[in-house]
Chains A and B, each alone.
Chain A
Amino acid sequence: MKILVTAKRTPDPYSKIKLKPDGSGIDTSNIKFVINSFDEIAIEEGLRKKEKFGGEVVVVSIGTQECVEQIRTALAMGADRGILVDTGGRYLDQLGVAKILARIVEDEKPDLVILGKQAIDDDANQVSQILAELLGWPQATFASKVDIDLNSKKAVVEREVDGGIEVDEVSLPAVISADLRLNQPRYASLPGIMKARQKPLKTVKIEDLKVDVSPSVEVLKFEAPPQRQGGKKVKDVDELIQALKESKVLPF
């Protein structure tokens, strides 16, 4: 089966984020970039399905030329080929990203698309849902287990919802978004990294896709969360209760 996965370039979750002084974005000068952690889980799931059923894993990244680094990492993990959609650095909202992916899916005709449930930078959690809608495909988001039956062309997906685990059956092709507990992504191996260089990587210019990606969302400003103010020390329980009442934590 042919599986399409995504690899968004996001800051390393362990890096310290600083804003640019003018608030136009984050200061990327000293930041390490990695594959979005949830996308990494999606890639791993794609590879496991390929190892089980055969076929091909295609990895897509949308952004500047720097995203080649993330595609190569995915190829080193075992994906077969990569597609970079070069945006020339322009801002895309979630609808724009989903439209581009829909366009790629039309060309590639995969049996399954697996994405991270959200990206760890903007945490939007929208692209997989919009993509399924644009394609008219069934969707199963927040997957923690995916079983595929090739004969009936169906996937049984366990989804992590607020009340517990929901089990859905979707017919293929479908869009699945990966949650944290779906799997533990592998490390790219040394031979894998060396082989990745030879694997095909196609760059597509965003203009050539002929998709309207003019954003409907405008980013006005980035702001750091307010600094935590120092607390105050109380003498005894009575004073504590008084203070809690004053700050309206206690309603009576």
Chain B
Amino acid sequence: MEFLWSDEEKSLFSEFERLCREKIEPKAEKLDREPSLSLIRENLNILADFGYLGAPLPPEYGGLGLKWVTYFTMSEYLAKACASTYLSAMAHTLLCANFITMFGTEKQKRKYLPELSQGKLIGVLCATEPGCGSDLAALKTKAVRDGNYYIINGTKAYATNGPIGDLFIILARCSENSQNSESDNKNPKSKYSGITAFIVERETPGLIVGTPYDKLGCRGSPTSDIFLDSAKVPVENVLGGVEGYGFKQVMKVFDIGRVGMAVYSLGIVSACLEESIRYSKERYTFGKPIAAYEDINFKIVDMQITVDMGRSIVLRSAWAHDSGSEDAGVLASCAKLFIAERATKNASDALQIFGGLGYIKGTKVERLYRDVKLGEIGEGTNEIQRRIIFKRLTKEFGYS
């Protein structure tokens, strides 16, 4: 087994690292302190110009067809430079564009993917609702067929990119009488029954975007509620063309998205590590730099372990996705959970190394400490990851 990057991949990494360091990182503090829709949009445009937003999408639809291992490896540089920008880019590419890539009809792919690749449209996935997140199948948003349209009513919560979104994928439940016989959920009593993904354009009458939330961390990436007040969506915008597959589809989409969230936490720890090493050599106590003290060393070593082990498990789950392995989903959950839990501790340690200075706004680790927590919540909490991993394990052993 060999892990070797091609010369092309190496130059891609070094060029992207430079772009993130020179163009994205300098704006990260401002974006956190004064979240601005135009600034995040500007960052996404820079990434689109580089080709990052469409990097893993198929070349026949305007993407670059990058392998997942390559895409996720380069993504760490962005997550390290600015977690907010990374989250928005990731949600756009992995949750919206990649959803259409995986399950869209030929016509939907031709219509939307080129513009999503170029960042002309910003994508949003609306799955969570005020009353359901981990238990997604309990969603209440309803879609009722009316001639050549569906009328959608409901409220979606925590939509990443909502306020800057142009294209929304909305999960809604089709009413039972319009259930398609081809659906995989023939039992109308099943809680997965009728769940369908719709592609909804920003201009659709009845689609209302809420005001951005005031968040603890990842403040530069705008998140909002999405209200559907009799939104009128044409029948051809049923994602994949057939009702009732939404739940299965979105679970598959999350399998890749979770690797993306693992990289989110990984990038933040990588930044914590760099900051901690720098500061521990600069800061003197009792006549010595604090790097000379064992308790500081151990904290830094723990970060290094997260970064190294994290990269390995990200690569392994990305590789599993590239090779279509059945383990891909479980690996993604393991990667996200493992890195996110350690990352929260690591970021807290980094702040501790900075002491009082770390508690002050404007110190980078203060932002990292707030940003890092999302890794344990977004795209499935730690708790739901453990359930997913266990469910898939026991299924394999025939227990469920």
Binding site for B on A (CB under 8 A): 32, 69, 72-73, 76, 187-191, 193-194, 196-197
Of B44-52, B173-181, B219-227, the stretch lying at the interface with chain A is B44-52
CB-CB under 8 A from A194, the residues of chain B are 8, 64
A-B contact pairs, 25 of them (CB 8 A): A32-B14, A69-B7, A69-B11, A76-B11, A187-B15, A187-B18, A187-B23, A187-B50, A188-B11, A188-B15, A189-B49, A189-B51, A190-B12, A190-B50, A190-B51, A190-B52, A190-B55, A190-B64, A190-B66, A191-B51, A191-B64, A193-B8, A193-B12, A194-B8, A194-B64
Residue numbers in B under 8 Å from A76 (CB-CB): 11, 15
> How far does the Cβ of A117 sit from chain B's closest Cβ, in whole Å?
22
Which residues of B have CB within 8 Å of A188? 11, 15
> In whole Å, how far is B140's beta carbon from the nearest beta carbon of chain A?
41
**By CB atoms of chain B within 10 A, which of A69, A190, A194 has the most?**
A190
For B7, list chain A residues within 8 Å (CB): 69, 72
Q: Verify if B377 is at the interface (C-beta below 8 Å from A).
A: no
Query: For the complex, would chain B's binding face be called helix, strand, loop or mixed by DSSP majority?
Result: helix
- Which residues of chain A are within 8 angstroms of B69 by Cβ–Cβ distance? none
Count how many pairs of residues, one from A and one from B, have CB atoms less than 8 Å apart in the complex.
38
Instruction: Tell me whether B19 is interfacial, beta carbon within 8 Å.
Output: yes
State the CA gap A189–B7 with chains docked (Å). Answer: 15
- Residues of B that sit less than 8 Å from A by CB: 7-8, 11-12, 14-16, 18-19, 23, 49-52, 55, 64, 66
| Bound CA span A194–B18, Å | 17
B11 touches A73 (CB 8 A): yes
User: What's the nearest-Cβ distance from chain A to residue B120, in Å?
Assistant: 16
Secondary structure of the A contact surface, majority rule: helix
Q: Which of A76, A189, A191: most chain B CB closer than 10 A?
A: A189
Complex-state Cα separation, A197 to B49, whole angstroms: 20
* Shortest Cβ distance from B22 into A: residue: A187
* Interchain nearest-CB distance for A136 vs B (Å): 38
Q: In the assembled complex, which residues on chain B have CB atoms less than 8 Å from the CB atom of A32?
A: 14
Q: Which of B50, B55, B66 has the most CB of A within 10 A?
A: B50
Q: Which of A32, A188, A193, A194 has the most CB of B within 10 A?
A: A193
Q: Which residue of A lies closest to B53 (CB)?
A: A190
Q: Is the CB of A72 within 8 A of B51?
A: no
Is B8 touching A197 in the complex (CB atoms < 8 A)? Answer: yes
CB closest residue in chain A, given B16: A190
Q: With a CB–CB cut-off of 8 A, which chain B residues contact A190?
A: 12, 16, 50-52, 55, 64, 66
Give every chain B residue within 8 A of A197 (Cβ-Cβ). 8
Q: For residue B15, which residues in chain A have a CB less than 8 angstroms away from its CB?
A: 73, 76, 187-188, 193
**Among B23, B52, B55, B64, residue most surrounded by chain A Cβ atoms (within 10 Å):** B64
The complex places the Cα of A76 from the Cα of B12 at a distance, in Å, of 10
C-alpha spacing A73/B10, complex, angstroms: 11
- On chain B, the residues within 8 Å of A69 by CB distance are 7, 11
B12 cross-chain contacts in A, Cβ below 8 A = 190, 193
A190 to B57, CA, bound (A): 13
A187 CA to B17 CA, complexed, in Å: 11
Closest 10 pairs (CB-CB, A-B): A190-B51, A188-B15, A187-B19, A191-B51, A189-B51, A193-B12, A189-B50, A193-B11, A197-B8, A190-B50
Least CB distance from B158 to A in Å reads 30
